Each structure stands twice: as structure tokens, then as C-alpha cells.
């Protein structure tokens, strides 16, 4: 079949790899002018480890694994450690494979078969599904027909908006925003320490791995009205959220994050939909079921979803309804579990009051293995 995949994040690249290897003719389009490979290290875990093996990328993933020598600790306003982040609190298990997001994106890019048509600075402007084909008009003005369109364009999916309805219908705001930016000067090569300062409703931290350091921020807020693609607006919102905070390294971390042209900023909102397919259009990854970074499972769900969709298309052939339904039935339990886990994340990582911060720290100190 001739398949268009919108979005070249982990879900889109995995779909490109799996579908092309299954013999389909695949085009992958990405709105930006390059792969967006920044962000903090992510986990390949659970069933996604077997998926990575099936895709033939497990060895490369293991080679780039970050060794589990990490120490994550909460600090007070002067930088003194006050509590550890205990692995079981974030559901870590020994078989989790942690890897820098940029490394995983590089591995997926390399694994993408040559015959996949990967196009940057391209997006869908309009699509019309007449039952036999999906006619797509692109932002560039190009027009083409496909048997299937796969929406892998992330939490703010344009395919979802065009086919299923506005984002507000499906987004469940967790009441927290996140930002991740470079923190040069904070790296400690060879030693992997992540430090986090909590103030009520605020989290500012520095995550270090290899010779890199990232500033990570979370803050509680009701919905903020801004354009998701407006980097200046994102920087301004970040600065406003931490304005007037002079503690620890916060001013410097905010400043260096604002200097990062690839600053990652987003609302933590889960996507909950009654169905992920309509006609010849199907959603995978965050577009279908974003669980937010609080879940630590976005990448694993993306690997799994693309793989399952490809398998079910292979099993059901031209019967798309049957293939998409089977894909949904297999993928839903994984997505639901990840979303459920993430819902408690704000209270762990961004307690709302000084009392809640202290109670959390006391609990973590008690849970610390001796």
C-alpha cells in the first residue's frame, strides 16, 4: 500500500521503518527542517525492548545505553541534598534501557530504509478520504493520493485536528508545563548527578549525562494561551514562571535555557480518545495517546504502536477496519497504563506547597535503600 506518515519523531520514524520493511511504499513528512533530536534521556522499557529487538535496533540501543550510575537528588534553596529520588517511585525496573533521545533518533534515522521518502518542511494542509483513497494537499501546494495516512505528528497532531476534531476535545491538562534546554557549564563529565530544587508549584533542575547538562523545569499553571510553534512565547512564559527566584542555580539555568534555539517547551496534557482511526486514517504515538513525559513511556509506546499497526496491517490485508481495530485493542492497555501512572507525577515532582514538598522528602528519605 502507499502510506503517508505525518511526523518524523520516534513514532513516525518507527512507522517508516516497520511499514517499509513490510513492503509498503512509505513517505514520511516532517514539519520542521530537521529531525528534532533534543530532549532529556528517555527509556526503552517493557514490551518495547522486544520490539526494538524485532526492529533490529536493540544492539545499537544497548551500545548507547547510559549506565545506571545516575543519582537523582532533591536539593534545598542553597543546593544541599535533602532527599533522593528512589527508582521505584518512578517505576524503574532493572531491564529499562535509558538512552539519550538524540542517540535513539540517530539510530532510527539510520535504520530507515533508503526507499522511504523522507521530506522536511512539509505538512498536511488538507485531506479528503473518499473511502478508496485519501487525497492530500500539502502546505507546499503539492497534491497526492494515499491508501493510508498515519498521524504520528505528536501531542498537537494536525492529522488528529483535521480528521477527529480540535485538540481541546481530547486533551486532559495535568496542570503542569515542562521546559528542557541546554545548560552548558553545568556538566560534570564522568559523574552523573541530577539535582532538582522544588519551590511550591515549581521545579528547576539540572540533569547531567556523558559530557552534557540540561536545565529541566516544571511549573504548575492553568492553561496558557500561546502558539505551540512560537519559541519566543515559550521562552517568555518560562522566564515569567521563574521570575524573581534567585535561589540556587535557578537564574542561570533559566538564562541558558532561553539561549537554547532548540528549547523544548510544552504543556503536560494527555490525549484521551475514544478511537484512533477513522476510515483510512490512523493515529500512533503521542498523537493518539500522549501520556506526557511524566510517564517515562512515550518512546516505548511509539515503538510498540508502530510495530503493532504494521503487524495488524500484514494480518488483515485490505481490511483496514479490522487491522486498525486490532491495533487499537492491543495498544490500548499499554497506553492506558502509562497515562494512569503519569497522573500522580505532578504530586511527586512538583508538590504544590512547602508542606507537600517536606512530606514528599520525608517519604523519599524513609524509602531510601540502606
Ligand X SMILES: Cc1cc2nc3c(=O)[nH]c(=O)nc-3n(C[C@H](O)[C@H](O)[C@H](O)COP(=O)(O)OP(=O)(O)OC[C@H]3O[C@@H](n4cnc5c(N)ncnc54)[C@H](O)[C@@H]3O)c2cc1C
> Is-contact 29 122, C-beta < 8 A?
yes
Count helices and strands (H / E) in the chain.
Answer: 12, 18
| Least separation in angstroms between CB 105 and ligand X | 9
Instruction: Cell numbers for 96, please give them.
Output: 529499562
Using CB under 6 A as the binding rule, whether residue 351 contacts ligand X is answered as: no
| Least separation in angstroms between CB 132 and ligand X | 24
Per DSSP, the three-state class of 245 is coil
Count of residues that bind ligand X according to CB under 6 A: 31
Using CB under 6 A as the binding rule, whether residue 8 contacts ligand X is answered as: yes
Distance in angstroms (rounded) separating the CA atoms of residues 219 and 242: 9
| Least separation in angstroms between CB 8 and ligand X | 5
Distance in angstroms (rounded) separating the CA atoms of residues 317 and 323: 8
Nearer to ligand X, 178 or 313 (CB): 178
> Is-contact 127 151, C-beta < 8 A?
no
> Is-contact 338 297, C-beta < 8 A?
yes
Among 4, 17, 20, 42, binds ligand X (CB under 6 A): 42
Using CB under 6 A as the binding rule, whether residue 38 contacts ligand X is answered as: yes
| Least separation in angstroms between CB 156 and ligand X | 6
Distance in angstroms (rounded) separating the CA atoms of residues 83 and 351: 14
φ/ψ of residue 108, rounded to 5: -65, -40
| Least separation in angstroms between CB 331 and ligand X | 12
| Least separation in angstroms between CB 32 and ligand X | 5
Q: Which residue is nearest to ligand X (CB)?
A: 9
Among 9, 16, 205, 215, binds ligand X (CB under 6 A): 9
Residues in the chain: 370
Nearer to ligand X, 104 or 197 (CB): 104
**CB neighbour class for 82 (10 Å; exposed up to 12, middle 13-18, buried from 19):** middle
Q: Taking CB under 6 A as the rule, which mask of x and - marks residues 110-149 in contact with ligand X?
A: -------------x--------------------------
φ/ψ of residue 109, rounded to 5: -60, -40
> Is-contact 193 277, C-beta < 8 A?
no
| Least separation in angstroms between CB 334 and ligand X | 13
Range 156-215, binding ligand X (CB under 6 A):
158, 180
Using CB under 6 A as the binding rule, whether residue 312 contacts ligand X is answered as: no
Range 260-289, binding ligand X (CB under 6 A):
264, 285-287
Task: Identify the CA nearest to 36 among candidates 6, 7, 65.
Answer: 7
Among 18, 153, 312, 328, binds ligand X (CB under 6 A): 153
Which residues here bind ligand X, judged by CB under 6 A?
Answer: 6-12, 29-32, 36, 38-40, 42, 101, 123, 152-154, 158, 180, 264, 285-287, 293, 298-299, 302
Amino acid at each position: 500500500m502507499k502510506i503517508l506518515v505525518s511526523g518524523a519523531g520516534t513514532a513516525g520514524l518507527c512507522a517508516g521503518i516497520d511499514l517499509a520493511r513490510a513492503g509498503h511504499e512509505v513517505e514520511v513528512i516532517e514539519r520542521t527542517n530537521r529531525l528534532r533530536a533534543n530532549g532529556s534521556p528517555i527509556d526503552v522499557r517493557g514490551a518495547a525492548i522486544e520490539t526494538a529487538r524485532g526492529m533490529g535496533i536493540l544492539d545499537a540501543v544497548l551500545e548507547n545505553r547510559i549506565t545506571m550510575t545516575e543519582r537523582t537528588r532533591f536539593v534545598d534553596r542553597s543546593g544541599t541534598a535533602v532527599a533522593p529520588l528512589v527508582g521505584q517511585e518512578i517505576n524503574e525496573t532493572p531491564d529499562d534501557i535509558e538512552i539519550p533521545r538524540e542517540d535513539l533518533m540517530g539510530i532510527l534515522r539510520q535504520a530507515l530504509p533508503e526507499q522511504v521518502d523522507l521530506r522536511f518542511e512539509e505538512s498536511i494542509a488538507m485531506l479528503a478520504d473518499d473511502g478508496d483513497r485519501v487525497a492530500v494537499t500539502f502546505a507546499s501546494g503539492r497534491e497526492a493520493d494515499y491508501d493510508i495516512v498515519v498521524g504520528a505528528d505528536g501531542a498537537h497532531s494536525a492529522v488528529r485536528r483535521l480528521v477527529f476534531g480540535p485538540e481541546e476535545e481530547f486533551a486532559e491538562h495535568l496542570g503542569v508545563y515542562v521546559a528542557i534546554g541546554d545548560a552548558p557549564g553545568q556538566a560534570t563529565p564522568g559523574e552523573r548527578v541530577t539535582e532538582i530544587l522544588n519551590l511550591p508549584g515549581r521545579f528547576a533542575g539540572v540533569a547531567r549525562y556523558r559530557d552534557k547538562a540540561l536545565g529541566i523545569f516544571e511549573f504548575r499553571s492553568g492553561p496558557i494561551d500561546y502558539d505551540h510553534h512560537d519559541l519566543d512565547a515559550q521562552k517568555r512564559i518560562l522566564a515569567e514562571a521563574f521570575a524573581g527566584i534567585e535561589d540556587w542555580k535557578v537564574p542561570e539555568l533559566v538564562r541558558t535555557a532561553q539561549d537554547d534555539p532548540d528549547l523544548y517547551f510544552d504543556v503536560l496534557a494527555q490525549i484521551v480518545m475514544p478511537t484512533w482511526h477513522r476510515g483510512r486514517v490512523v493515529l500512533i504515538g503521542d498523537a493518539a495517546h500522549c501520556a506526557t513525559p511524566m510517564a517515562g513511556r512515550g518512546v516505548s509506546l511509539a515503538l510498540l504502536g508502530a510495530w503493532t499497526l504494521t503487524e495488524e496491517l500484514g494480518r488483515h490485508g485490505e481490511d483496514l477496519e479490522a487491522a486498525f481495530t486490532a491495533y487499537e485493542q492491543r495498544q490500548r492497555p499499554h497506553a492506558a497504563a502509562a497515562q494512569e501512572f503519569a497522573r500522580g507525577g505532578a504530586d511527586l515532582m512538583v508538590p504544590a506547597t512547602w508542606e507537600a514538598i517536606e512530606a514528599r522528602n520525608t517519604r523519599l528519605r524513609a524509602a531510601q535503600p540502606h
